[in-house]
Amino acid sequence: MSATPNAGALDSETLATLDPSGQTADVLGLPDHLRDAVWKAESADIPGWDSPGGLIVAGMGGSAIGGRIARAILGDQASRPIVAVRGYGLPAWTTQEATVLCLSYSGETEETLACFEAAGVLGARRIVATTGGRLAQAARAEGVPVLPMAGGLQPRHAVAYSTVASLHAAALCGAGPGLTTEIDVAAEHLEQLAADWGPESPADSEAKALARAIYGTVPVIAGAGLTASLAYRWKSQINENAKQPAFASVLPELDHNEIVGWSSAADFGRFSAVFLDDSDDTPRIAERIAVTREIIGPGSAGTHLVATRGLTAVERAFSLVLLGDLVSLYLAVLNGVDPAPIEPIEELKRRLG
């Protein structure tokens, strides 16, 4: 892995040299993805129902993150439990009073297929969000409603579709309110942020400056409340797009263990810390971030504070989705790699058969 000669530019021309499949365009298309996801969900015309057991969102990787972001967005507006699960099975407490949303962009994710089958055995209400594959086939065969997703994307770039599907499923089963208006407003807000942070933005725009600041380090992304799921999103996008290690942590928990490890971090490598801050979080989190940065600073390659933008939870959450995605793409350029391929994942799938 080596930096491209013109990596410092981080402009459209430089991105094009390492992004021939147009991953950047897919990231910048987030506002349109949100609008299209709402249209697809509403056009499916699925009648609502009452689900006292709440909503379980089953998915993996890029498909799973939508469930976590949706739960964070709903916050205390959620009137029933909403749980995101990653794995081959549903929680032991799952009953037929729960609704299970099975999310798989490809429709071929074996863990999600297993959850779909398990939910059917339990007699739980099921709903599917996918582009096709065996999951869509099974849903049609068993009369399970399907929320369609736009094809032609890397699963990780379908975050708007997986999040909107999760929010829509929550509204359908009575676990949360409908947020169509908030999503429309957020899409408009994101268009301005895309201009502020995108390839045509100034060299010192927030996304480009942060990418340069953490380049050559192992970033540890920390969040709390709304931003906890977004920290994991940043971590996974850096893993897949920039092809490098990155890790996610949660406040205040990290202050009870991880903070000690930073005292010798420099002995093991160059680690940077990125704290995602939300204006609606408890003031104690902001205080913790400030003090934590001071304490871990000497052992780190740098600490950085990133704030959400916007008024509603949807706006604020997706502002950091967009920013993190762009930072990961700029890191890919700095690392001299094409953000699209995910060969280790494909190899693992081949070896597992």
Catalytic residue among 182, 206, 240, 258: 240
Q: Name every residue whose Cβ is closer than 8 Å to that of residue 276 and which is 6 or more positions away in sequence.
A: 221, 222, 223, 224, 227, 230, 231, 234, 306, 307, 308, 320
Q: How far is CA 181 from CA 94, 115, 185, 258, in A?
A: 32, 32, 6, 40
40 is catalytic: no
The kind and range of the H/E element at 218 are: strand 218-223
* Catalytic residue flag (residue 256): yes
The verdict on whether 304 is a catalytic residue reads no
Measure the CA–CA gap between 334 and 330, rounded to whole angstroms: 6
Q: How far is CA 160 from CA 94, 302, 303, 306, in A?
A: 27, 31, 29, 21
Set 110, 142, 287, 349: catalytic member: 349
Task: Show the tokens assigned to 168.
Answer: 């829509």
DSSP state of 216: T
DSSP H or E run through 55: strand 55-58
Residue 76: partners with Cβ closer than 8 Å, 6 or more residues away: none
Residue in the structure block whose two tokens are 């099921």: 126
Q: What whole-number distance in Å separates Cα of residue 3 and Cα of residue 259? A: 31
98 burial via Cβ count (<10 Å: 0-12, 13-18, 19+): buried
- With 0-12 / 13-18 / 19 or more C-beta atoms within 10 angstroms meaning exposed / middle / buried, residue 13 is exposed
Q: Are 212 and 221 in contact (CB under 8 A)?
A: no
Query: Side-chain half-sphere of 292: how many Cα atoms within 13 Å?
Result: 30
Output the CA angle 104-24-303, nearest 5 degrees. Answer: 90
**Catalytic residue positions, numbered:** 240, 256, 349
